[in-house]
Amino acid sequence: MSTLTVTTIQPDLQWEDKTANLRRLEEKIDGIAVPTELVILPEMFSTGFSMRPEFLAESMEGPTVAWMRTIATRKKIILTGSVIIEEEGKYFNRLIWMLPNGQYGYYDKRHRFAYAGENEHYSAGHKRLVASVKGWRILLLVCYDLRFPVWSRQAPQPSVAAAGTGAAPGDARDLEYDLVIYVANWPQRRSLAWKTLLQARAIENQSYVVGVNRVGNDGNNIYHSGDSMIIDPLGEILYHGVGKEEVFTLTLEKEKLDAIRERFPFWKDADHFNIEP
């Protein structure tokens, strides 16, 4: 059965200092001592959670995306995290999914954090991104999206039997994704919500969940405790990093996921719904 090795990087970001952050993150990636396939960085990993996109935004041809491409190609990994992007006069909090061959996909954060004024500076995305690697389907989301369960709700797909996979109608392989990733800048003062909701998303969607957060104070003197987590489809915590910079690698097992879904086929009783753009 397929496995997927993921590495979470929980850094102390330097406020609005792209050069320092990219240099430090490259050191951490180069220092990963075990083989890995997917490296996950936090939300706005090059700047911190800044409301100054007019000064910090780049295009998709800018230096930060180029840095991601260089690292992913050199290390032969998938590299993901969100950055501030300008496109057609609008600013986006954009998660980039960079492949080792230099190709990429992206997801624009849908739920902007109005409590901090994010909605006043950034445009919302309207389309989810489910990436595919080694037979794993991966839903990619950003921070505040975590509070809105409908946006991450597992949606059973039409039977894949017609596609020649041999799966019968109602097979667990019809589910939309196997892993959901949240990249974040989530403050310590609301860490209980972060930890609780990550577990809830895993349980309700019968999926692995990875949440990657930063540590340290940002430019507004808001402290982040990290609390990056990897959670299995039953809600069991496989990893929890608290209060310090940390790089952690774990191999996820598809066989375990499939066994849980087959033994507890709660997904068959899910409500069907549509999400408006």
Q: Which residue has the tokens 């300008």?
A: 86
Catalytic residue among 109, 118, 176, 195: 109
DSSP string, 253-271: EHHHHHHHHHHS-GGGGPP
Instruction: Decide if 18 is catalytic.
Output: no
Identify whether the C-beta of residue 66 lies closer than 8 Å to the C-beta of residue 89.
no
Name the token pair of 61.
Answer: 């041809």
CA distances from 86 to 57, 58, 66, 108, 127 (A): 5, 6, 15, 11, 17
Catalytic residue among 37, 58, 143, 176: 143
Distance of CA 166 to the CA centre of its chain: 30
DSSP string, 59-106: -TTSHHHHHHHHHHHHHT-EEEEEEEEEETTEEEEEEEEE-TTS-EEE
CA distances from 260 to 27, 188, 223 (A): 37, 32, 37
Pick the closest to residue 182 from 136, 207, 203, 213 (CA basis): 213
Instruction: Decide if 256 is catalytic.
Output: no
Q: Could you tell me which residues are beta bridge partners of residue 87?
A: 90
Instruction: Decide if 204 is catalytic.
Output: no
CA distances from 120 to 92, 109, 128, 153, 248 (A): 11, 14, 22, 27, 35
**Angle at alpha carbon of residue 261, lines to 256 and 265, rounded to 5°:** 160
Catalytic residue among 37, 43, 58, 176: 43
Give the SS3 label for residue 18: helix
Identify whether the C-beta of residue 224 lies closer than 8 Å to the C-beta of residue 185.
yes
- Could you give the residue numbers annotated as active site? 43, 109, 143
